[in-house]
Structure 1
């Protein structure tokens, strides 16, 4: 259900969503079947390892620039 806001201009009706209708829409979307899992070639260990490497690299770069002089 979408609430319609009243505007002074005739012919221009903008829908506004309340928190309740937004939550209801997201719950319906989450309950729909399909789209389970990711791509077959994406290994969670490789993805996690790559993310860990990138975060450690960023941490190392940050600490190099943040030296006390």
Structure 2
């Protein structure tokens, strides 16, 4: 990384970004739903027992 880029990166880090963050409850709920869906699909197709 060039030393010319360091001040720009430092400014971005100080500002913290001006965007709305993702809702942690929605993100966690969606991740849980996806994992449970994958678990359900895996157990439905695992018929070799």
If the length of structure 1 is used for normalisation, what is the TM-score?
Answer: 0.42
CA RMSD of aligned residues (A): 3.1
If the length of structure 2 is used for normalisation, what is the TM-score?
Answer: 0.56
Larger RCO (CA under 8 A, 6+ residues apart): 1
Show structure 1 runs of 5+ residues with no match.
2-27
Structure with the higher fraction of residues in strand conformation: 1
How many residues were matched structurally? 41
Show structure 2 runs of 5+ residues with no match.
none
